[in-house]
Chains A and B, each alone.
Chain A
């Protein structure tokens, strides 16, 4: 970045333009733990400032990398080619919550939980619940199409985005989509922008769909001897025509890992745990919880615990919530993947993962959203052992290949970013890549927005 660009940006942003080394360092990372130093950071307060930044970038040829809270797991907001990190964290107004039309209009920097809470106060519900919802932003959630535990019943971020305002790579301001429940006028540019990882446009405003808030929630924790029994129980719940609002599976590797760190009382022969939630009107919740409990017991649960009050539910969630912190304690580095397979292929995938771990002498910890087939596969690397690292990388590739063979996808909710870029073509194929690149050229002809993401170019490889 040259001095003229800096001067021009400083004219727009004043002290919201930062280029001291310490300021740049604080915007060099995200939750992947990798660091790429930007040339500068800007904090726009309005759409116009975003637009002027992109126009300048077109004039002077520097990259612009949009960033929400930097909580992503795929490196979507890392400035791998330098340039300007455009932080949306100060564009954080909820413009309106329209309870008559069941929608919200928000700026991209609104923290997801803040919106959920604002909706809740009006007995409304914004369902997406990524694990980062207390600090992650709506803009980041849309750009990466974040999911969460409730996806099994309510879907993912994509399903709640009705319309967007975005600054394209050309600096043009586009409004896509509708403020209505339906709309089919032309190509669905809204859906195209969702999950585009900031490579097509920078989202400056979003119109989101809301639902009525479910009245109550029931939680069940079932313990099984092995994955097979738990997988059959999942199938049993589906066969009973019940759609839980969360269905989380933790395999033996995850349970063992938690046991090394916190004390949770459970039978010694527990090899798999399933956490199920149902929500809705109280009477329906009671009936569905009974149905779930029956299915769990029929399929060989050693033990089923049930709670409807806040304290009891929290107790049941403890096992699930302890996994991520516990993981950090057993390995220095984790390769954190979020594959999805068709629900019916879950038992095959779980068996494959366990065999792979044994064969390659690796610790692979699996847990995740069994209800929608989304498994968080964590390949743990304990130290700086080069051979272990090589085996781990090979294992990740084998897992992705198996996932695609089973009809699944290599990323359910984290996005491609840089961490899955080497495997991107494996899933979408050469024509898929080619069409996407043509679309990219239409939105961002000079390649200003978030360069170096999604597909591999210029030999960038997973280090």
Chain B
């Protein structure tokens, strides 16, 4: 069967035209706007955790503001990065926290340099709760006692989850001991543990002297009577002083902001050499595919700026014990890069 040449030609021309118009329509639609359904993957697999909570507070408001369907999926770090890698259309966004570059600094498998591989989006909030605790009846009253004891050759075991947010405070402490008591930093020993329950368990078992924890997860333990085997007390919050100062006055549970401030700098000082002292705020921010259109980056920046302008989101974050912390993407990227280089110094120092 032969079709007349003319018909074939016109058919193919029509086909090309249709393809072109479809393609250009697609390209135009792509230009500068989130559209269709958008999935926000997070670096945690827990839907009860702080990353999920933060992401959903922000995403709920973005959905409303932009009128786009957005949904948070707790797929975990490795899958989240992979999903983001594959989609440059802007249908996949990611929200994670400092773990994303700390994992890389600690050389954890599966983490790349996020500043090279992705576009950094805006920061949204801080979880000020990263804390270190000792048993209620511990001989160490302050962090200085611990630094001093390590300097005097006492072994101090710190239970942490290796390779990230939980370890950074430990590394800073080790660095401080190295500065104040050179050569003695080996006395601070990491016990590599998993979940919060495992870390608590290490303390109950007497297998650790200090544990990493959080205000949210451990506050009630600090209010148990001393006779209780489970009783603990805070010894250090890594947050900056002015971060905690922004927390609600009533603090968390029955521990007030006033009390929490006792455990942050300058009351607790972990030196980084010179006058500088170490702090760590766990900040949540967006990560985008490198090839995603700049228009979308701007669109989200603008939308968030307007949302934060309205002021309602701040209250929601504070109610959940998060500190509002919006920086548009360009500023966030610079800020986080600077933050990373400070921690990089610590980690190279102690290795």
Q: Is the A/B pair a real complex?
A: no
